[in-house]
């Protein structure tokens, strides 16, 4: 018999004001580092930046992870050390696999800045599995129209990664992964199956309940393993579903680096400090490595 409460944990965000927009971060969290392969979960905005301005995330490095960018509004220019130049728009997916090391930047397109660009979306990092942490870096862009959609009972769910509701996304998944954008009409509902080891729900906007338990905006709600539940909305809402297979080996996270090995993170820190990472063509700026405070545990 199922436990009456479908929720295992509720992870409240750390919110940062980045000058014109807010970022709500629920992973990594002091209570939990991962949900399936997801080791980082940020909601950007929603915001409308001042005319003539935009976001400018200077070149910075990653190892042993994949970044997934998914926008609700706005656009971002991605550039990386492989020579990739790609603008991502609403509903598309940018998947950048760092593997043994990659550098990238993210900036508002010049064409969007004059009018004051909107910005709203989710950025996640997915840890690469054991034995694949040092694969070659790669980048892929999947257009919005290429993502499969499940629709039933007042719900429309876009499958971003993995297989859900009989639909399989073309986006590469290096480890067992589920990731979906669920739009619920007033009175809409959708089943949340228990196929994945670990699952979490994130209410982006509106209202939603999981088996009658209300979800709170900007909180990542981790579901109890094996619990089959129903997601519903009274007035309409938007919810992200994320998760996948549980990792047997813990992951360490420091700055932009993720690894099963603390020593690998130390090496990446030394490599970035010494300028041994590849550079981003056409974007010579960079973010310096942050100091390691004595009060912080460093892998």
- 140-145 average pLDDT score: 98
Residue owning tokens 């499969």: 148
Of 6-10, 112-116, 134-138, which gets the smallest average pLDDT? 112-116
Query: Which pLDDT belongs to residue 1?
Result: 43
- What would the pLDDT profile of 32-86 be if each residue is shown by its tens digit? 999 999 999 999 999 999 999 999 999 999 999 999 999 999 999 999 999 999 9
Per-residue pLDDT tens for 108-127?
Answer: 999 999 999 999 999 999 99
Cα distance between residue 194 and residue 214, in whole Å: 19
Query: What are the tens digits of pLDDT across the range 278-294?
Result: 999 999 999 999 987 54
Looking at residues 10-18, what average pLDDT do you find?
Answer: 91
> What pLDDT, in 10s, does the model give residues 215-272?
999 999 999 999 999 999 999 999 999 999 999 999 999 999 999 999 999 999 999 9
- Average pLDDT across the chain, whole number: 94
pLDDT at 21: 82
Task: Compute the average pLDDT of residues 147-165.
Answer: 96
pLDDT score recorded for residue 295: 44
Rounded average pLDDT over 20-40: 94
Q: What's the per-residue H, E or C state across the chain?
A: CCCCCCEEEEECCEEEECCCCEEEEEECECCECCECCEEEEEEEEEEECCCCCCCEEEEEEEECEEEEEEEEEECEEEEECCCCEEEECECCEEEEECCCCEEEEEECCHHHHCCCCEEEEEEEEEECCCCCCCCCCEEEEECHHHCCEEEECCEEEEEEECEECCEECCCCCCCCEEEEEEEECCCCEEEECCCCCEEEEEEEEECCEECCEECCECCEEEECCCCCEEEECCCCEEEEEEEECCCCCCCEEECCEEECCHHHHHHHHHHHHCCCCCCECCECCCCCCCCCCCCCCCC
State residue 2's pLDDT score.
Answer: 54
């Amino acid at each position: 018999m199922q436990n009456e409460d479908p929720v295992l944990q509720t992870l409240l965000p750390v919110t940062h004001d980045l000058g014109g927009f807010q970022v709500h971060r629920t992973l990594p969290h002091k209570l939990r580092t991962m949900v399936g392969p997801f080791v980082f979960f940020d909601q950007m905005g929603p915001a409308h930046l001042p005319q003539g301005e935009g976001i400018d995330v200077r070149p910075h490095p990653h190892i042993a992870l994949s970044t997934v960018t998914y926008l609700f509004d706005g656009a971002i220019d991605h550039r990386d050390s492989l020579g990739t130049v790609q603008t991502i728009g609403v509903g598309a997916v940018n998947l950048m696999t760092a593997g043994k090391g990659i550098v990238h930047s993210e900036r508002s397109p010049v064409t969007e800045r004059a009018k004051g660009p909107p910005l709203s979306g989710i950025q996640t990092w997915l840890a690469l599995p054991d034995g694949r942490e040092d694969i070659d870096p790669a980048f892929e862009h999947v257009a919005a129209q290429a993502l499969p959609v499940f629709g039933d009972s007042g719900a429309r769910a876009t499958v971003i990664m993995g297989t859900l509701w009989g639909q399989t996304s073309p986006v590469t998944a290096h480890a067992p992964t589920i990731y979906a954008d669920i739009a619920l009409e007033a009175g809409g509902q959708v089943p949340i199956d228990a196929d994945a080891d670990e699952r979490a729900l994130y209410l982006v906007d509106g209202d939603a309940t999981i088996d009658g338990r209300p979800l709170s905006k900007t909180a990542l709600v981790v579901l109890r393993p094996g619990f089959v539940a129903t997601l519903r909305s009274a007035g309409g809402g938007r919810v992200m579903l994320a998760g996948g297979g549980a990792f047997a080996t813990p992951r360490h996270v420091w700055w932009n680096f993720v690894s099963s090995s603390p020593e690998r993170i130390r090496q990446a820190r030394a490599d970035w400090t010494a300028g041994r990472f590849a550079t981003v063509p056409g974007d010579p700026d960079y973010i310096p490595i942050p100091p390691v405070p004595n009060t912080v545990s460093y892998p």
